Structure 1
Amino acid sequence: MIRSSSSIFSLLRQYRSIPISVASIVPYNRLSSISKPTHLRSFTKSSNFSSVYLNLSHFSLRFRLQHSMASDSSSPKSIHEFTVKDARGNDVDLSTYKGKVLLIVNVASQCGLTNSNYTEMSELYAKYKDKGLEILAFPCNQFGNQEPGNNDEILEFACTRFKAEYPIFDKVDVNGDTAAPIYKFLKSSKGGLFGDGIKWNFTKFLVDKEGNVVERYAPTTSPSSIEKDIKKRLGDS
Structure 2
Amino acid sequence: MDVNWKEAKSIYEFHALDIDGNDVHLEKYRYVYRRYTHRGKQGVKFDMFAKINVNGKDAHPLWKYLKSKQSAFLFNTIKWNFSKFLINEEGQPIKRYGLTVNPFSNDLEQDLDKYFAKPPSGSLESDRLPAAAS
TM over 0.5: yes
Pair 1:83 & 2:25 matched? no
- 1:208 corresponding residue in structure 2: 88
Structure with max Cα Rg:
1
2:104 alignment partner, SS class: helix
How do 1:191-230 and structure 2 match up within 5 A? 191-225=71-105, 226-230=108-112
Could you tell me how far apart the structure 2 residues matched to 1:98 and 1:210 are?
A: 7
Structure 1 residues 210 and 193, CA gap change in structure 2 (3 angstroms): same
Aligned-pair identity in percent equals: 38
Residue among 157, 160, 176 paired with 2:56: 176
Could you tell me how far apart the structure 2 residues matched to 1:171 and 1:204 are?
A: 17
Could you tell me how far apart the structure 1 residues matched to 2:8 and 2:101 are?
A: 27
- 1:146 corresponding residue in structure 2: none
How do 1:30-179 and structure 2 match up within 5 A? 75-101=7-33, 128-129=41-42, 165-179=45-59
The answer to whether the Cα contact below 8 Å between 1:190 and 1:216 also exists between their aligned partners in 2 is yes
Cα distance per residue 1:150-180 (max 9 Å; x no partner): xxxxxxxxxxxxxxx4222110111100101
The answer to whether the Cα contact below 8 Å between 1:187 and 1:197 also exists between their aligned partners in 2 is yes
Q: Which amino acid aligns with 2:78?
A: I
The answer to whether the Cα contact below 8 Å between 1:100 and 1:208 also exists between their aligned partners in 2 is no
- 1:28 corresponding residue in structure 2: none
Q: CA deviation at 1:99?
A: 3.0
Cα distance per residue 1:37-66 (max 9 Å; x no partner): xxxxxxxxxxxxxxxxxxxxxxxxxxxxxx
Gaps of 5+ in 1: 1-71, 102-125, 135-164
Q: Number of residues paired by the alignment?
A: 108
TM-score of the two chains, using structure 2 as the length reference: 0.70
